[in-house]
Each structure stands twice: as structure tokens, then as C-alpha cells.
Chains A and B, each alone.
Chain A
């Protein structure tokens, strides 16, 4: 495992070591405290496998949560990116959006959940609206900043050679914004999934968040921990399988 040229451990070895230490710490805590407070790693994994085998759980909780995450991220990232591009082109719009952006990024998520529950009631609409509303400003800031840093020299070149607007958008702006957009999307995905679970926990009758609330009420700690692990796996899955490869592809092309 040791690199023969540098004599050092490769980076993934340190990731693995950190993970092993975390699990060891978790195991020690589980042995020290009651199973009602801290579920052991083994019990958590067993509960997770039980959840995966449970078709009712998959249909009633996992499916709706994934659907909400997909919808919320599509709306949130889409609207944030569109507004960011608009703000980059039209300075007054950027200035007008500044207060709304500031309010949405500084207000605690739980307050938004409570307010949106009053407006939309319980269920998918509320969860998707909350998450999209909170995710959009993150993407908006990244894209608007990205618009400010689009290479002016390339835009001048495009003007001299009379590239039509659609060509400029695709060949210059989209490529220049892909990096900031994906960086924003990575942060938005993590935050978005957390918000979906929070909103489901407080105001939905199905979904991982709702299942978490039930497990807590029933003192099913192993299932509670398994659901937490599941939410982390969803975040990690989206990031590792979707966003990270996309970001690497963009970096390769921009190198």
C-alpha cells in the first residue's frame, strides 16, 4: 500500500484509516451507553439491511424521498442557475435579488419548514418547495459569481466574430459556468437532502424523515441510526456517482 516512489501512504489509505477510527469510536460509545441511546455499528448495519429488504419501506418511504430530492434539486438548481445567469447579464436584477438572497441564506431552515407548512400544508409540495427555495440561493450565488468571472477577452472575440447569442451561451458561458455550477450543486445536494429529511420529519406522512420520526417515537434506535446512514448514503451516492464525475469532466476540459 505504501507508494514505492514517495514512501508515503496513498490518500485513500488515510480516508480508510479515518473511517476505521470513527467506527471504532462509535463501537466504544455503543458499549459504554445503553442501546437505546447509541446503537452499535453492527446493529445499525443489520437494521439497514432489514430496511432494504422491506418492500413497504422502499415503496412508502424511500421512493417518495428520492422523488422529492430529485424534484427539489431540479427546481432549486434550475431556478438558482437561471437567476444567476440573468443576474450576470442584468446588473439591476442582481442588485434587486441581493436582499432575497441574503434573507434565504441567513434564515434557519427549520423556520422555513414551519412557515411553508402553514402555506402548503403537509406532503410533497411543501417538502419540494422548501428544499428548492433553500437550495436555489446557493446555486444562484455560485452562478452569479461565475458570470462575473467569465473571460471578457473571449466575449470580445465572440463579438468580433459575430457568434450568435445561443452559440455564446453554449460555447462560452455554459463552459465557464459549469465549474461554479457543479460546485454549487455539490453543496446544494448535501443541504437539499438534509432539508428534505427535516421537512419530512416535521410535516409529511411518508418518506425517510417521517420514518425517522416514527423510529424516534418508538425508541427503535438501531433503525434511527440506519435511516441516518441511509440519508448519508443517498448524499454520498449522488455526489460520488453524479456530481464528482461531472466536475472532473469539466475540469479536464477546462485544464
Chain B
């Protein structure tokens, strides 16, 4: 399969603090990659660079599509728009007609079991529901790449399971390359077929996580 993401020799610093040093990554279409590591090690920065929200200090990134779905740690919904309008928004930006965009948004809200809440504003939804709207928004654009940045953060155990189940079900009919960032291995999706563990380099701790690099790659058992 074709690689949809290629990162080579990526270095990134925030001020004087190196966050990513010599990071390489290739992700193929349809692959579900788990990116594991402790907080502050640079996992989210990798996703942000793929999405074009951060630029590397050096190295190259090639992303073979503009259809990127991104589920952030927090839902990032427009507070003044309904759940439906939040899902419709990126579809309209893609040039879809109003009716087509609305139908598609409704379909994905239904898949996220939110049909009854399409006219509801984000502040009237629970945290888990807001994340499901964000998931619906990501899937609605039919993404070639789906970036999941700790999407289960702040949810209780039952809600995490519900979200995981809905996410797995939605991925069944998607050919997107998925990068799922988490610090908790138990949160990884069942269909994860590659895991990259990010670890700190060097013996001395350096104010949290200052040096990172791909250390291990392994298959899910």
C-alpha cells in the first residue's frame, strides 16, 4: 500500500527544549498506528506537524492528502453552533451542497448514537457526547488520515469503552490511515496493527521530556 505520511529526520524544539530529535515515521493507507509514550514526550507534536499546525525545525514531512480528520484531546466544537452544524461545517468547507452536507452529518451523528442531539448546543452535551460529535465531524469528511490525540482523556471507564466501540465500528468502513496517540496502552484500538513507543533518551531526566526518539516498534499481541 502507498505511504500517506512520510516523516524523515524530524527535529523540533520549543525554545531551548528539544522535544523531537531525529524522528522518522512512515504510515501506509489503512494502517492503524498506536503512538505510545508518557505525557510531554512529543506525541501530540508529531500529530500537530502532520496536520500542519506545527513546522519541524529540520527534516521533511510528506502528507499525501488534504483530507485529514483530527480528534483533539478536547472536542473543539463551535459553542454557538449545534452538534449538527459543527459536523456540517467542514463538509461545507469542502464544497459540499447544504443538503448533501446535512444528510452526511446526520448519518455520522447517527453512527455516533447522537441522532437525538443534533439540534443541541455543545454546552448542553456531556464531555463524552462532545467527543463523539468531534469523531462524527472527523469521519464525515471521509478522511484519508485520522489523527486521534488522546480522544478518551477525561472520560470514565464506561464512557471510554462506549467511545472505543463506536470508533472501532466507524473504522470498519473507513480506509483511513489512523494514528492514535495515547499514554495508556489499554486505550489502544483492537484494530491497531503497529505500535511505536516513544521513550526519553539519555540517562538523566531533562525537565520532563526533553529528548525523544523512536526506540521500539512492535506488533500488537
Contacts and interface: CB of A to CB of B under 8 A. Distances in A.
Interface of A: 153-154, 156-157, 159-164, 167, 171-172, 175, 253-255
Interface in B136-173: 137, 141
A9 to B, nearest CB: 31
A255 B124 CA distance: 9
B78 A171 contact: yes
A156 B92 contact: no
Interface residues of B, number: 22
B80 A153 contact: no
7 contacts: A156-B53, A156-B76, A159-B53, A160-B70, A161-B89, A255-B79, A255-B123
A175 B89 contact: no
A162 to B, nearest CB: 6
Interface of B: 51-53, 66, 68, 70, 72, 74, 76, 78-81, 89-90, 92-94, 121, 123, 137, 141
Given A157-B72, A253-B80, A163 B90 contact: yes
Contact of B74 (A153, A160, A171, A254): A153
Contacts of A167: 89, 92-93
B115 to A, nearest CB: 22
Contacts of B81: 171
A168 to B, nearest CB: 9
A163 B80 contact: no
Given A167-B93, A171-B89, A255-B123, A160 B51 contact: yes
Residue among B52, B92, B93 with the highest chain A CB neighbour number at 10 A: B93
Contact of A159 (B52, B92, B137, B141): B52
A157 B76 contact: yes
Given A153-B72, A163-B93, 20 more contacts: A153-B74, A156-B76, A157-B76, A160-B51, A161-B89, A161-B93, A161-B137, A161-B141, A162-B66, A162-B90, A163-B89, A163-B90, A164-B93, A167-B89, A171-B78, A171-B81, A171-B89, A175-B78, A254-B80, A255-B79
Nearest to B48: A156
Contacts of A171: 78, 81, 89
Residue among A171, A172, A254 with the highest chain B CB neighbour number at 10 A: A171
